[in-house]
């Protein structure tokens, strides 16, 4: 969609207010490397960040490299990640991801969304989260929070994650993409919730065109 100067100004004003409201906005998964964030993000599917952090506190002591995951007996890995749910699929994804990481990328994480998203268990959203938060790239990661908030704020009219990503990239300057993602996630998680948004406490209430707001 063509973005007007007016729309860009409104979007930046919204970002400024969200920055003041959530100065500590960040990925709430614990990690000490890009590889650890990749593993944690795979485990976070259909699971809370808090539960993933409980699991990875022990997991990351035992499995430190892609080779460690590939060599681990599948039953042992499944047992280690069981509390995150869908543990069989996730163990398979982790093993496949690490195998391809070793075979095609020498065990190092590639630095583009497309290459990272080519790994088993890693979609465009996961790749963008890792690149944006642990590898210094500017990315827009469209999760359920970003999608909902972007739609309600009139940043996009699409339901498709890739189109929403494009719309947001057109709206915000590139040097703000990762920060915008984290701010939109926090706003969606703590204020603009799916079922009961706290509209009357919202710092961007007057800038929000959502027709269902009180």
Q: Which residues are the active-site residues?
A: 125, 143
Domain enclosing residue 18, as ranges: 5-25+140-207
String of DSSP letters for 107-170: TSPPSSHHHHHTSTT--HHHHHHHHHHHS--------HHHHHHHHHTTS-----HHHHHHHHHH
Same domain for 71 and 18: no
With tokens 């963008």, the residue in question is 128
The answer as to whether 213 is a domain residue is no
The answer as to whether 188 is a domain residue is yes
* Residue 44 to residue 158: CA distance in whole angstroms: 25
Residue that terminates a domain, selected from 94, 116, 134: 134
Half-sphere exposure of 123 (CA within 13 A, CB side): 11
Residue stretches of the chain with pLDDT short of 50: none
CATH code: domain of residue 70: 1.10.340.30
Residue (of 118, 89, 124, 98) closest to 39 by Cα position = 98
Same domain for 11 and 65: no
Same domain for 197 and 106: no
Confidence (pLDDT) at 2: 77
Q: Can you read off the two tokens belonging to residue 195?
A: 């079922």
Same domain for 172 and 130: no
- Please state the separation of Cα 105 from the chain's center in Å: 23
Number of CB atoms found within 10 A of residue 65's CB: 13
Residue that terminates a domain, selected from 134, 162, 192: 134
* Residue 112 to residue 110: CA distance in whole angstroms: 6
The answer as to whether 62 is a domain residue is yes
Q: How many domains does the chain have?
A: 2
The per-residue pLDDT for range 162-189, each reduced to its tens digit, is 999 999 999 999 999 999 999 999 999 9
**Total residues found in the chain within this entry:** 214
Residue that terminates a domain, selected from 106, 134, 162: 134
């Amino acid at each position: 969609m063509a973005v007007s100067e007016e729309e860009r100004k409104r979007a930046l004003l919204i970002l400024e207010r969200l920055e003041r409201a959530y100065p500590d906005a960040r990925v709430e998964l614990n990690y000490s490397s890009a590889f650890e964030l990749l593993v944690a993000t795979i485990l976070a599917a259909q699971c809370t960040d808090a539960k993933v952090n409980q699991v990875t506190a022990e997991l990351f002591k035992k499995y430190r490299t892609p080779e460690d995951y590939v060599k681990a007996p599948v039953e042992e890995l499944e047992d280690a990640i069981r509390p995150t749910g869908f543990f069989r699929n996730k163990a398979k994804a982790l093993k496949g991801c690490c195998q391809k990481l070793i075979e095609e990328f020498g065990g190092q994480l590639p630095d583009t969304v497309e290459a990272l998203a080519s790994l088993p268990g890693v979609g465009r959203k996961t790749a963008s989260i890792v690149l944006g938060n642990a590898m210094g790239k500017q990315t827009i990661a469209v999760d359920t929070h970003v999608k909902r908030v972007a739609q309600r704020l009139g940043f996009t009219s699409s339901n498709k994650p890739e189109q929403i990503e494009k719309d947001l990239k057109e709206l915000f300057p590139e040097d703000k993409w990762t920060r915008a993602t984290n701010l939109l996630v926090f706003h969606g998680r703590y204020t603009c919730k799916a079922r009961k948004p706290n509209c009357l406490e919202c710092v961007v209430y007057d800038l929000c065109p959502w027709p269902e707001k009180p």
